[in-house]
A and B are shown apart, each in its own frame.
Chain A
Amino acid sequence: MAIIETQSLTRRFGTLTAVDALNLSIEPGEMFGLLGPNGAGKTTTIKMLTTLLLPTSGRARVAGYDIIRQPADVRRAIGYVPQMVSADGTLTGYENLLIFARLYDIPRAEQKKRVRAALDFVGLGDSADKLVRAYSGGMIRRLEIAQSLLHHPKVLFLDEPTVGLDPNARRAIWGHLEELRREFGTTILLTTHLMEEADRLCDRVAIMHLGRVVAIGTPAELKASIGGNGATLDDVFVHYTGNTLDSGGTYRETIRERRTARRLG
């Protein structure tokens, strides 16, 4: 049975249809990539699946729970790493995690152990007591991933997890995600602009464009679908979404994204 399933999931903002009748079915343990230009509806999709945003119409189930009728159960079952920087710079890495260990109802006796284990998992054990303000971009992202794992979620949502990171930091994040899936069978849904990232990590990818899925399949299937020998996912992306020149999101989204990139970089 699918662990994430959407039926005609739709979200409108005024006259704009950000996500248009989305039908997705993701299996347990799958690493699934949502690709697409800015404004394609990837973040809106994630916000709906993580209960941050109510759909205008349609339905979705995550980890067996209805996102509209059972949001509290969904929240207990998922982890989420937003696109923006979500660690608090004025606290230490340890404190950032401790607060969330408490909010996720982890038994008091276990909280500290769990926080240490999560920090060790992403290799931040030695920096636990430094203020996050002093962390590098890669460390911040690793901390955020550790934070989202404290309660051992069944499903992990990551919105552009490697935006603004240098290649080393990026590879470290990839390694953690792969290990997570291997060790715990965590289902991972991530959005990305990096075709290399999707190609390397994802079992399947869906390419979104103007709120709809225009192509879905394994990276190999998608490459085959556009025919060319030696086609890359980049070619696939351009093939399915390249008909608009003015892609790239709104002014506000652009500012936000560049600011995030600068903060992490």
Chain B
Amino acid sequence: MRLSERGALRAGLADQVQGHRNPLAALGRFVYKVLVIAELDARKLRHDPTELFMRAVQPTLWLLVFGQVFTRVRAIPTGDIRYLDFMAPGILAQSVLFISIFYGISVIWERDLGILHKFLVSPTPRTALVLGKALSAGVRGLVQGLFIYLLALILGVRVNWHPLALAGVLLTVMLGAAIFSTFSLIIACLVKTRERFMGIGQVLTMPLFFASNAIYPIAIMPGWLQVISRVNPLSYQVDALRALMLAGGVSGFGLGMDFLVLFAVVAALVGIGARLYPTIVT
């Protein structure tokens, strides 16, 4: 197209922009932009998927080494189910947590580069930017999920293959990734530098993981830790995964409660994140 032809296009764009008051169209555009932000991340992964494989190493070690050994020891009371089966959903939740909790570092990296400035200057709602990030963390989480299902298959974990159960796992993984990536983004907006973020990220990850029902039941914890693990969203994610992923799995809190908590936490964190996001460039 010649430069001189572009004037006509500009008139067309002006008409189209006029439409931005219609609420339904606005919602459509909002969802579209969330998807565009996630598309950006998916394109990056397509160019260089090595990270996905690197990320699969840690959960593999947990299941193969820790899981195998503790299954033999029988130190942890897990009722009728084998320990390895008990911990498989916990390790899925853990790998989603680990992938998401360092999402903030990429935000700081983009800020340092100047990429973030361009997104914030574009007419993209802040909430769409934050939700788009959450969605892309979810996509990465799903890839982890694939690896873990594959391992579970190899290790003989009794997996529930019912399509509804699989859909439930998918939703739970997306919600968990959204929670911890947005949490991470909020931390990034508050601490602003990579060094501080790395320090805080390390400090947060371990308590989140160990003060949850990921690798042992809440019932065997001391009272104070039980309290913490009951307010830890990871516990609800693990609980839902345990009920949905395993054949004959049961939920401790009730699936309704799990999803209520997960959705509420996502909504609250995305709200806070969208408010804080613009402050990261100041």
A interface with B by C-beta (< 8 Å): 47, 50-53, 72, 75-76, 78, 80, 82-88, 90-91, 95, 99-100, 102-107, 110, 113-114, 116-117, 120-121, 131, 147-148, 151-152, 179, 183-184, 256, 260
7 closest cross-chain pairs (CB), A and B:
A84-B114, A86-B114, A82-B114, A75-B123, A102-B36, A80-B121, A117-B1
Give the contact-size bracket for chain B.
Answer: 35 or more
CB–CB A116/B1 < 8 A = yes
A/B interface sample: 25 pairs, CB < 8 A? A51-B121, A52-B282, A75-B123, A76-B123, A80-B118, A80-B121, A82-B117, A84-B112, A85-B113, A90-B48, A91-B44, A91-B47, A95-B43, A99-B40, A102-B36, A103-B33, A103-B119, A107-B12, A107-B16, A110-B9, A113-B1, A114-B9, A152-B9, A183-B3, A183-B4
Q: How far is the CA of A175 from the CA of B7 in the complex (A)?
A: 20
In the complex, which residue of chain A has the Cβ closest to the Cβ of B118? A86
- Taking the closest CB of chain A, its distance from the CB of B81, in whole angstroms, is 42
A-B contact count (CB 8 A): 102
Check if B281 is an interface residue, CB within 8 A of chain A. yes
Q: How far is the CA of A87 from the CA of B47 in the complex (A)?
A: 16
CB–CB B3/A90 < 8 A = no
Interface residues of B, dominant DSSP:
helix
- Taking the closest CB of chain B, its distance from the CB of A2, in whole angstroms, is 21
Residues of A contacting B29 in the complex (Cβ-Cβ under 8 angstroms): 105
Check if B6 is an interface residue, CB within 8 A of chain A. yes
Q: How far is the CA of A106 from the CA of B15 in the complex (A)?
A: 11
B interface with A by C-beta (< 8 Å): 1, 3-4, 6-7, 9-10, 12-13, 16-17, 20, 29, 32-33, 36, 39-40, 43-44, 47-48, 112-115, 117-124, 278, 281-282
Q: How far is the CA of A98 from the CA of B188 in the complex (A)?
A: 27
In the complex, which residue of chain B has the Cβ closest to the Cβ of A86? B114
In the complex, which residue of chain A has the Cβ closest to the Cβ of B117? A82
**Contact among A104, A148, A179, A256 with B123 in the assembled complex (CB-CB below 8 Å):** A104
Residues of A contacting B40 in the complex (Cβ-Cβ under 8 angstroms): 88, 91, 99
Residues of B contacting A113 in the complex (Cβ-Cβ under 8 angstroms): 1
Residues of B contacting A82 in the complex (Cβ-Cβ under 8 angstroms): 114, 117-118
Residues of A contacting B43 in the complex (Cβ-Cβ under 8 angstroms): 91, 95, 99
- Taking the closest CB of chain A, its distance from the CB of B99, in whole angstroms, is 17
Given the interface pairs A76-B17, A99-B36, A116-B1, the reply to whether A47 lies near B115 with Cβ below 8 Å is: no
Residues of A contacting B113 in the complex (Cβ-Cβ under 8 angstroms): 84-86
CB–CB B123/A80 < 8 A = no
CB–CB A100/B118 < 8 A = yes
- Taking the closest CB of chain B, its distance from the CB of A192, in whole angstroms, is 17
Q: How far is the CA of A179 from the CA of B6 in the complex (A)?
A: 14
